[in-house]
């Protein structure tokens, strides 16, 4: 059984792409077959996994706008069990092009229906907005993974985020679930970080992963080398955290079945 998971928070810079890349790579290492689907026009998940954004013939853009076969767009990365469906700069215009199409919220769901069973997990790295690309991602997914940065105003925007999920559930995807909440950029020396963890746990009850992702400069460096953290610096605290998160993620998955 495959599962499609949207990594979503309309705020930018909260750790969506970092969590997508590194959770995906760690799960690949644990033997799961993983696809990272990059639906953010910025394409950071694509380049962060070592794929040159300018050399791809088929991307998520062609799937959405030209109904290209999703199989053609999948690229095998150099990492174990890990594949990418790349983004393209053209995606920035796709949001406008989509507005004139019938059932425009369900194009992605339809476009990837033929590939879903080829993977254990498909992670969709969402853009930092609530536009049609994000709605397509949420409509195509079984669940939502929410990264939250341990910073001032961590919960700001969360009610809007939950509202969006509710709206998508009502109108497009009644079985959409919350997969879990990832606390990112945690700094144990900082009281604020500790307070944020408490607040987020209160708000999301049992949905928050115990594993905290620390603020770790190696995590910020790795994408410029096109490497997941477990390849860039396997001994770093960031690598350790995403390995732990992958194990915790799978524990809940197995419990849920």
Contacting positions for Mg ion (CB under 5 A): 16-17, 44
Measured over the CA atoms of residue 127, residue 130, residue 136 and residue 137, the dihedral's sign is: positive
Q: Does 188 bind ligand ADP (CB under 6 A)?
A: no
**149, 15 contact by CB (below 8 A):** yes
Nearer to ligand ADP, 15 or 111 (CB): 15
Mask 75-104, x = binds ligand ADP (CB under 6 A)?
A: ------------------------------
The helix-helix angle for 16-29 and 237-256 (nearest 10°) equals 70
Q: Which does 184 bind (CB under 5 to 8 A by kind): Mg ion, ligand ADP, none?
A: ligand ADP
Question: CA angle, corner 235, sides to 220 and 183, nearest 5?
Answer: 50
Helix (H, G, I), strand (E, B) or coil at 198: helix
- Count the site residues for ligand ADP by CB under 6 A: 18
For the bound state, the minimum distance from the C-beta of residue 100 to ligand ADP, rounded and expressed in Å, comes to: 29
For the bound state, the minimum distance from the C-beta of residue 13 to Mg ion, rounded and expressed in Å, comes to: 8
Stretch of 191-199, 200-208, 210-218, 242-250 lying at the interface with ligand ADP (CB under 6 A): 210-218
Q: Does 47 bind ligand ADP (CB under 6 A)?
A: no
Q: Does 44 bind ligand ADP (CB under 6 A)?
A: yes
Radius of gyration of the chain measured on its C-alpha atoms: 17
Q: Find, among 37, 32, 27, the residue nearest to 2 by Cα.
A: 32
């Amino acid at each position: 059984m495959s599962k499609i998971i949207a990594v979503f928070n309309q705020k930018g810079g909260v750790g969506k792409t970092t969590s997508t890349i590194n959770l995906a790579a760690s799960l690949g290492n644990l033997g799961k077959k993983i696809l990272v689907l990059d639906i953010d026009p910025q394409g950071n998940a694509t380049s962060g996994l070592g794929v040159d954004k300018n050399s791809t013939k088929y991307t998520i853009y062609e799937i959405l706008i030209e109904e290209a076969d999703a199989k053609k767009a999948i690229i095998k990365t150099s990492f174990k069990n890990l594949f990418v469906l790349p983004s393209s700069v053209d995606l920035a215009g796709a949001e406008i092009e989509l507005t004139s199409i019938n059932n425009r919220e369900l194009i992605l769901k339809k476009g990837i229906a033929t590939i879903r069973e080829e993977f254990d997990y498909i992670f969709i790295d969402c853009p930092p907005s609530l536009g049609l690309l994000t709605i397509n991602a949420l409509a195509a997914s079984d669940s939502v993974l929410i990264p939250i940065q341990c910073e001032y105003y961590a919960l700001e925007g969360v009610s809007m985020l939950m509202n969006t999920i509710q709206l998508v559930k009502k109108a497009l995807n009644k079985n959409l679930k919350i997969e879990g909440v990832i606390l990112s950029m945690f700094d144990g020396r900082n009281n604020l970080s500790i307070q944020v963890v408490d607040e987020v746990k209160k708000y999301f009850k049992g949905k928050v992963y115990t594993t905290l992702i620390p603020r770790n400069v190696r995590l910020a460096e790795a994408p410029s080398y096109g490497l997941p953290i477990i390849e860039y610096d396997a001994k770093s605290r960031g690598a350790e955290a995403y390995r732990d998160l992958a194990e915790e993620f799978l524990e809940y998955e197995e419990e849920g079945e």
